[in-house]
Amino acid sequence: MSVLVALRTGATEVPGRGVVDLSGTIGKTPGTGFAWAGATYQVDRPVLSDFLGHLRRQAQIVTPKDAMYLLYLAGIGPGSRVAEAGSGSGALTTVLAYAVGDEGSVDSFDRRDDFLEVARRNVASAGLSGRTRFHRRDVATDGLEGGPFDAVVLDLPEPWEVLESAKATVRPGGRVATYTPTYNQLERTVRALREQGFQDVRSLELIERELHVGDGGTRPAFDMLGHTGFLSSGRRGP
Protein backbone atom coordinates (compact mmCIF):
# COMPACT_ATOMS: atom_id res chain seq x y z
CA MET A 1 0.00 0.00 0.00
CA SER A 2 1.21 3.46 -0.75
CA VAL A 3 -0.09 6.90 0.12
CA LEU A 4 0.51 10.28 -1.49
CA VAL A 5 1.41 13.03 1.01
CA ALA A 6 3.35 16.28 0.90
CA LEU A 7 6.42 16.16 3.18
CA ARG A 8 6.55 18.97 5.73
CA THR A 9 8.12 19.72 9.08
CA GLY A 10 5.89 18.82 12.00
CA ALA A 11 3.01 16.38 12.05
CA THR A 12 1.72 14.90 8.79
CA GLU A 13 -1.58 13.12 8.57
CA VAL A 14 -1.16 9.91 6.64
CA PRO A 15 -4.52 8.56 5.40
CA GLY A 16 -5.27 5.28 7.13
CA ARG A 17 -2.17 5.46 9.36
CA GLY A 18 -2.70 8.36 11.70
CA VAL A 19 -0.35 11.27 12.33
CA VAL A 20 3.39 10.89 11.93
CA ASP A 21 6.38 13.21 12.00
CA LEU A 22 8.11 12.83 8.64
CA SER A 23 10.49 15.78 9.13
CA GLY A 24 13.47 13.48 9.35
CA THR A 25 12.97 12.17 5.84
CA ILE A 26 13.11 15.59 4.20
CA GLY A 27 16.23 15.90 2.10
CA LYS A 28 16.96 12.20 2.26
CA THR A 29 17.54 10.19 -0.91
CA PRO A 30 14.20 9.15 -2.38
CA GLY A 31 13.47 5.57 -1.54
CA THR A 32 15.01 5.73 1.92
CA GLY A 33 13.39 3.47 4.45
CA PHE A 34 12.45 4.41 8.00
CA ALA A 35 10.89 2.66 10.97
CA TRP A 36 7.71 3.87 12.63
CA ALA A 37 5.50 2.21 15.20
CA GLY A 38 7.21 -1.12 14.71
CA ALA A 39 6.93 -1.28 10.94
CA THR A 40 9.19 -0.23 8.09
CA TYR A 41 8.21 2.38 5.52
CA GLN A 42 9.81 3.90 2.51
CA VAL A 43 9.59 7.55 1.52
CA ASP A 44 9.79 7.81 -2.24
CA ARG A 45 9.52 10.51 -4.84
CA PRO A 46 6.24 9.82 -6.64
CA VAL A 47 6.18 9.20 -10.37
CA LEU A 48 3.32 9.48 -12.81
CA SER A 49 1.87 6.08 -12.00
CA ASP A 50 1.71 7.04 -8.32
CA PHE A 51 -0.28 10.16 -9.15
CA LEU A 52 -2.71 8.25 -11.35
CA GLY A 53 -3.03 5.52 -8.75
CA HIS A 54 -4.19 7.98 -6.12
CA LEU A 55 -6.63 10.03 -8.16
CA ARG A 56 -10.05 10.90 -6.84
CA ARG A 57 -12.41 9.81 -9.62
CA GLN A 58 -15.49 11.67 -10.67
CA ALA A 59 -15.62 10.63 -14.31
CA GLN A 60 -14.20 7.70 -16.25
CA ILE A 61 -10.46 8.28 -16.51
CA VAL A 62 -8.09 7.72 -19.38
CA THR A 63 -5.82 4.65 -19.14
CA PRO A 64 -2.04 5.16 -18.98
CA LYS A 65 -1.42 3.43 -22.31
CA ASP A 66 -3.77 5.85 -24.04
CA ALA A 67 -2.56 8.91 -22.15
CA MET A 68 1.07 8.17 -22.99
CA TYR A 69 0.31 7.64 -26.65
CA LEU A 70 -1.74 10.84 -26.78
CA LEU A 71 1.44 12.65 -25.70
CA TYR A 72 3.19 11.10 -28.66
CA LEU A 73 0.45 11.80 -31.18
CA ALA A 74 0.07 15.38 -29.99
CA GLY A 75 3.84 16.00 -29.96
CA ILE A 76 3.85 16.91 -26.27
CA GLY A 77 7.07 17.00 -24.25
CA PRO A 78 9.00 19.25 -21.87
CA GLY A 79 8.19 22.88 -22.64
CA SER A 80 4.95 22.28 -24.55
CA ARG A 81 2.02 24.63 -24.11
CA VAL A 82 -1.06 22.44 -24.13
CA ALA A 83 -4.81 22.99 -24.10
CA GLU A 84 -7.11 20.24 -22.88
CA ALA A 85 -10.90 19.86 -22.97
CA GLY A 86 -12.59 18.54 -20.91
CA SER A 87 -10.87 18.33 -17.58
CA GLY A 88 -12.89 15.36 -16.34
CA SER A 89 -11.32 14.03 -13.15
CA GLY A 90 -7.97 15.51 -14.09
CA ALA A 91 -6.25 12.24 -14.93
CA LEU A 92 -5.20 13.29 -18.41
CA THR A 93 -4.52 16.79 -17.08
CA THR A 94 -2.07 15.23 -14.63
CA VAL A 95 -0.30 13.29 -17.37
CA LEU A 96 -0.08 16.39 -19.55
CA ALA A 97 1.17 18.60 -16.73
CA TYR A 98 3.74 15.98 -15.73
CA ALA A 99 5.06 15.64 -19.27
CA VAL A 100 5.41 19.34 -20.09
CA GLY A 101 7.76 19.93 -17.15
CA ASP A 102 8.51 23.22 -15.42
CA GLU A 103 8.78 25.15 -18.66
CA GLY A 104 5.49 23.98 -20.12
CA SER A 105 1.89 24.80 -19.33
CA VAL A 106 -1.54 23.20 -19.48
CA ASP A 107 -4.81 25.08 -19.93
CA SER A 108 -7.67 22.74 -19.06
CA PHE A 109 -11.29 23.54 -19.90
CA ASP A 110 -14.50 22.07 -18.55
CA ARG A 111 -18.04 23.33 -18.33
CA ARG A 112 -18.84 21.51 -15.11
CA ASP A 113 -17.80 22.96 -11.77
CA ASP A 114 -17.78 19.57 -10.06
CA PHE A 115 -15.31 18.15 -12.58
CA LEU A 116 -13.11 21.24 -12.32
CA GLU A 117 -13.08 20.96 -8.54
CA VAL A 118 -11.98 17.31 -8.58
CA ALA A 119 -9.47 17.87 -11.36
CA ARG A 120 -7.97 20.82 -9.53
CA ARG A 121 -7.54 18.79 -6.34
CA ASN A 122 -5.97 15.87 -8.21
CA VAL A 123 -3.49 18.08 -10.03
CA ALA A 124 -2.67 19.80 -6.74
CA SER A 125 -2.03 16.42 -5.06
CA ALA A 126 0.48 15.68 -7.80
CA GLY A 127 2.22 19.00 -7.10
CA LEU A 128 1.53 20.18 -10.64
CA SER A 129 -0.73 23.18 -9.98
CA GLY A 130 1.97 25.70 -10.84
CA ARG A 131 1.92 24.81 -14.50
CA THR A 132 -1.82 24.19 -14.84
CA ARG A 133 -4.68 26.62 -15.32
CA PHE A 134 -8.30 25.50 -15.10
CA HIS A 135 -11.06 27.30 -16.97
CA ARG A 136 -14.80 26.93 -16.53
CA ARG A 137 -16.01 27.14 -20.11
CA ASP A 138 -18.25 25.30 -22.53
CA VAL A 139 -15.80 24.92 -25.39
CA ALA A 140 -18.47 23.44 -27.70
CA THR A 141 -20.24 26.78 -27.79
CA ASP A 142 -17.62 29.30 -26.68
CA GLY A 143 -14.47 27.71 -28.04
CA LEU A 144 -11.05 27.42 -26.45
CA GLU A 145 -9.34 30.59 -25.33
CA GLY A 146 -5.71 31.58 -25.00
CA GLY A 147 -3.01 30.12 -27.18
CA PRO A 148 -1.28 29.76 -29.45
CA PHE A 149 -0.92 26.21 -28.14
CA ASP A 150 1.56 23.60 -29.31
CA ALA A 151 -1.08 20.94 -28.88
CA VAL A 152 -4.80 20.61 -28.17
CA VAL A 153 -6.08 17.41 -26.60
CA LEU A 154 -9.81 16.70 -26.73
CA ASP A 155 -11.33 14.17 -24.37
CA LEU A 156 -15.03 14.97 -24.65
CA PRO A 157 -18.04 13.31 -26.31
CA GLU A 158 -18.28 15.53 -29.39
CA PRO A 159 -14.76 16.64 -30.33
CA TRP A 160 -15.88 17.70 -33.81
CA GLU A 161 -17.70 20.65 -32.24
CA VAL A 162 -14.39 22.01 -30.97
CA LEU A 163 -12.17 21.39 -33.99
CA GLU A 164 -12.67 24.78 -35.58
CA SER A 165 -11.69 26.47 -32.34
CA ALA A 166 -8.82 24.00 -31.88
CA LYS A 167 -7.52 24.92 -35.31
CA ALA A 168 -7.74 28.61 -34.48
CA THR A 169 -5.84 28.31 -31.20
CA VAL A 170 -3.17 25.71 -32.04
CA ARG A 171 -0.11 27.16 -33.74
CA PRO A 172 0.73 26.25 -37.34
CA GLY A 173 2.38 22.84 -37.25
CA GLY A 174 0.75 22.08 -33.89
CA ARG A 175 -1.23 18.88 -33.26
CA VAL A 176 -4.75 18.06 -32.19
CA ALA A 177 -5.39 14.68 -30.60
CA THR A 178 -8.72 13.18 -29.58
CA TYR A 179 -9.92 10.28 -27.44
CA THR A 180 -13.36 8.79 -28.10
CA PRO A 181 -15.00 5.52 -27.05
CA THR A 182 -17.23 4.66 -30.03
CA TYR A 183 -16.66 4.06 -33.72
CA ASN A 184 -19.34 6.60 -34.50
CA GLN A 185 -17.48 9.32 -32.61
CA LEU A 186 -14.20 8.24 -34.15
CA GLU A 187 -15.59 8.38 -37.68
CA ARG A 188 -17.19 11.76 -37.24
CA THR A 189 -14.02 13.14 -35.64
CA VAL A 190 -11.79 11.91 -38.45
CA ARG A 191 -14.09 13.31 -41.13
CA ALA A 192 -14.16 16.66 -39.31
CA LEU A 193 -10.36 16.71 -38.97
CA ARG A 194 -10.09 16.20 -42.72
CA GLU A 195 -12.73 18.84 -43.49
CA GLN A 196 -10.87 21.33 -41.31
CA GLY A 197 -7.75 20.69 -43.40
CA PHE A 198 -5.68 18.94 -40.74
CA GLN A 199 -2.75 16.94 -42.15
CA ASP A 200 -1.39 13.49 -41.32
CA VAL A 201 -4.76 12.44 -39.89
CA ARG A 202 -4.59 9.00 -38.35
CA SER A 203 -6.58 6.84 -35.95
CA LEU A 204 -5.76 3.81 -33.89
CA GLU A 205 -6.46 1.93 -30.73
CA LEU A 206 -4.09 0.28 -28.28
CA ILE A 207 -5.07 -3.07 -26.82
CA GLU A 208 -3.27 -3.89 -23.58
CA ARG A 209 -2.71 -7.54 -22.78
CA GLU A 210 -1.24 -8.46 -19.45
CA LEU A 211 1.10 -11.44 -19.27
CA HIS A 212 1.01 -13.90 -16.41
CA VAL A 213 4.19 -15.73 -15.40
CA GLY A 214 3.34 -18.52 -12.98
CA ASP A 215 4.66 -21.84 -11.78
CA GLY A 216 2.86 -23.60 -14.60
CA GLY A 217 4.29 -21.39 -17.29
CA THR A 218 3.59 -18.15 -19.08
CA ARG A 219 0.34 -17.07 -20.72
CA PRO A 220 -1.74 -13.97 -21.35
CA ALA A 221 -3.93 -13.05 -18.38
CA PHE A 222 -7.54 -14.25 -18.41
CA ASP A 223 -8.92 -10.92 -17.22
CA MET A 224 -8.67 -8.20 -19.78
CA LEU A 225 -10.17 -4.80 -20.42
CA GLY A 226 -11.69 -5.30 -23.87
CA HIS A 227 -11.86 -1.67 -24.86
CA THR A 228 -10.94 1.83 -23.72
CA GLY A 229 -11.04 4.34 -26.57
CA PHE A 230 -9.87 5.29 -30.02
CA LEU A 231 -7.13 7.85 -30.54
CA SER A 232 -7.06 10.21 -33.50
CA SER A 233 -4.72 13.03 -34.39
CA GLY A 234 -3.99 15.62 -37.03
CA ARG A 235 -1.51 18.39 -37.64
CA ARG A 236 -2.37 21.97 -38.52
CA GLY A 237 -0.75 23.14 -41.75
CA PRO A 238 0.91 26.56 -42.31
Choices 5-13, 16-24, 109-117, 177-185 (CB under 8 A): range interacting with a copy of itself: 177-185
87-146 residues in contact with a copy of itself (CB under 8 A) are 98-103
Distance CA 5, CA 3 (A): 6
φ, ψ at 143 (rounded to 5°): 75, 170
Q: Which amino acid is at 181?
A: P
> How many amino acids of this chain bind a copy of itself (CB under 8 A)?
76
Q: Does 175 bind a copy of itself (CB under 8 A)?
A: yes
Binding mask 19-48 for a copy of itself (x = CB under 8 A): ----------xxxxx------x-x-xx-xx
Q: Which of 162, 150, 148, 143 has the alpha carbon at shortest distance from 235? A: 150
In whole angstroms, the minimum distance from the beta carbon of 181 to a copy of itself comes to: 6
**Which residues, 142 to 171, sit near a copy of itself by CB under 8 A?**
148, 150, 171
Which H or E element spans position 12?
A: strand 11-14
Report the residue number, 70 or 116, with the smaller CB distance to a copy of itself: 70
Q: Which stretch binds a copy of itself (CB under 8 A): 13-21, 81-89, 134-142, 175-183?
A: 175-183
